[in-house]
Amino acid sequence: MLRSDQILATVEMIQKENLDVRTVTMGISLLDCRGGDVEQTCKKIHSRIIDYAGNFVATCDTISKKYGIPVVNKRIAVTPIAFVGAGFFREDFVRIAQTLDQAAKDVGVDILGGFSAQVEKGMTNTDLEFIASIPEALARTERVCSSINIGSTQKGINMDALAMMGKTIKDLAEITADQGGFAAAKFVVFCNQPGDNPFMAGAIHGLEEADAVLNVGVSGPGVIARALERLIEKHPEPGTLRLDELAEEIKQTTFRVTRCGELIGRAVSKSLGIEFGVVDLSLAPTPTVGDSVGEIFKILGVDAIGAPGTTAILAMLNDAVKKGGIFASKTVGGLSGAFIPVMEDAMLAEAVGDGSLCLEKLEAMTCVCSVGLDMIAIPGSVDADTISAIIADEMALGLINAKTTAARLIPVPGKEVGDSVSFGGLFGASPIMPIRNIGKSSRFIAWGGRMPAPIHSFKN
């Protein structure tokens, strides 16, 4: 048997620090579900999802009970729908979104991702029809999430698609104005989108994947925060604890957290007879008190989130999480880094409210972590071109640094700086983030065309 102190360290992590597996996401290929017309296609999609995921939620719950570790979210990701529905029109895609929504409901999952297209180099007619369907599709469904990949380090950025993104986001917000523009919270724009990310709203089942696969997202900012606090408490004398020791603590804690995710994921995968994919090593906060990434900044030494030093702390945090997790897991993938979704993290949202955290600082922070400008509520009056230009800056970071970046912005209709918005549950709440230099980027967005791939992408 193990030593008592090792046993107690694990018990502490589970009992006091609310260790959980944040998400188990089943990826399902729908590539062969295209029928002669949209009705046939919808029928095939529905039965495919029921076939694979019928026992998914019950199995996750059984395994979770056996091990005594909660699996917070059970989700489904599907093949990007623009590929599945090649040749269909706008209204057909809305119909497919409704089918996906119904299938998700029937198998008991709260969110399904993959109402998506990949247009980093060019757009087909289908892609154009698909993009046009997004506002209505998300407004008429409850559980469907959408994402568009508009750039990659290999191909550059599709600036025509980029220009459409600002408008799509505005439409999404306005069509759900009575819910604070909530549909925009279910839509994310990517550069270098991974095909095996289990986290929403950006989960898809990539074209490179097998028929079905299970990916696991571990999280645990709360576990990391408590471990750091304990270590700091043990060293009350100044100068007795250095930053590298704090990094080591994060690394070791992540190792344990990741191992639990891997154990649960593989058990679910074995039980369902579906291949295990990857563990995504991300620190993903929730609005729950004590489950904040923002809190870790304060523990590590800045008195306000966004103060100088915040980016450096995030860089270290992100790196230590990867180092601990990569050794713990057989296969790592997805986004794997710290998330800073403002609305979903109570302390980040508070920092926006008191003015210590601004958009530009968040942009800098996304250079050193995954995934991007995430869940940021902005004034409803910000124009589509300014939104596209904010996204362009974020995409450029991903393009040049060969990493995933994303933007999920919510222009809350009728709200301005000083107001706040709440979506409730996991989507959280936040004051409206001020945006500077509104309406000054339209000439740039109007160029269209492509931003070429960077020189370091030419490696052949």
Partner 1 sequence: MRKEMIISVMSKDRPGIISDITGAIYRLGGDVADLNQTVLRGYLTMILSASFEPEVTKEDLLAAISHIKTSCKFEVSIKELSPSQLEEEAGPPEETYILTVQGPNKSGIVHGISLFCFTHNINIFDLATTLRDGQYTMALQLDLKHCISSLAKLQQELEEYSQQSGLTIMMQHNDIFQVTNEIALH
Q: Does the footprint of partner 1 cover residue 13 (CB under 8 A)?
A: yes
Shortest distance in whole angstroms from residue 412 CB to partner 1: 42
Other beta carbons less than 10 A from residue 439's beta carbon:
12
Q: Does the footprint of partner 1 cover residue 226 (CB under 8 A)?
A: no
Residue placing its CB nearer to partner 1 in the complex, 53 or 260:
260
Q: Does the footprint of partner 1 cover residue 72 (CB under 8 A)?
A: no
Residue placing its CB nearer to partner 1 in the complex, 62 or 124:
62
Pull the structure tokens for residue 385: 């071109």
- Cβ–Cβ under 8 Å, residues 28 and 77: yes
Shortest distance in whole angstroms from residue 321 CB to partner 1: 16
Please name the residues in contact with 43: beta carbons below 8 A apart, sequence gap of 6 or more: 35
Q: Does the footprint of partner 1 cover residue 455 (CB under 8 A)?
A: no
Phi, psi of 307 (to 5 degrees): -65, 155
Q: Does the footprint of partner 1 cover residue 256 (CB under 8 A)?
A: yes
Which 155-214 positions form the footprint of partner 1 (CB under 8 A)?
Answer: none
Q: Does the footprint of partner 1 cover residue 373 (CB under 8 A)?
A: no
Q: Does the footprint of partner 1 cover residue 235 (CB under 8 A)?
A: no
Task: Give the C-alpha distances (Å, rounded to integers) separating 4 from 231, 256, 259, 450.
Answer: 19, 16, 19, 60
Pull the structure tokens for residue 152: 């990659």
- Cβ–Cβ under 8 Å, residues 215 and 278: yes
Give strand pairing partners of 281. 218
Binding mask 99-138 for partner 1 (x = CB under 8 A): ----------------------------------------
Question: Can you tell me which of 26, 27, 45, 65 binds partner 1, judged by CB under 8 A?
Answer: 65
Size of the site for partner 1 (CB under 8 A): 27
Give strand pairing partners of 367. none
H, E, C per residue of 79-127: CCHHHHCCCCCHHHHHHHHHHHHHHHHHHCCCCEEEEEEECCCCCCHHH
Which 260-289 positions form the footprint of partner 1 (CB under 8 A)?
Answer: 260, 262-263
Q: Does the footprint of partner 1 cover residue 259 (CB under 8 A)?
A: yes
Q: Does the footprint of partner 1 cover residue 47 (CB under 8 A)?
A: no
Give the footprint of partner 1 on this chain (CB under 8 A).
Answer: 1-4, 6-11, 13-15, 65-69, 255-256, 259-260, 262-263, 328-330
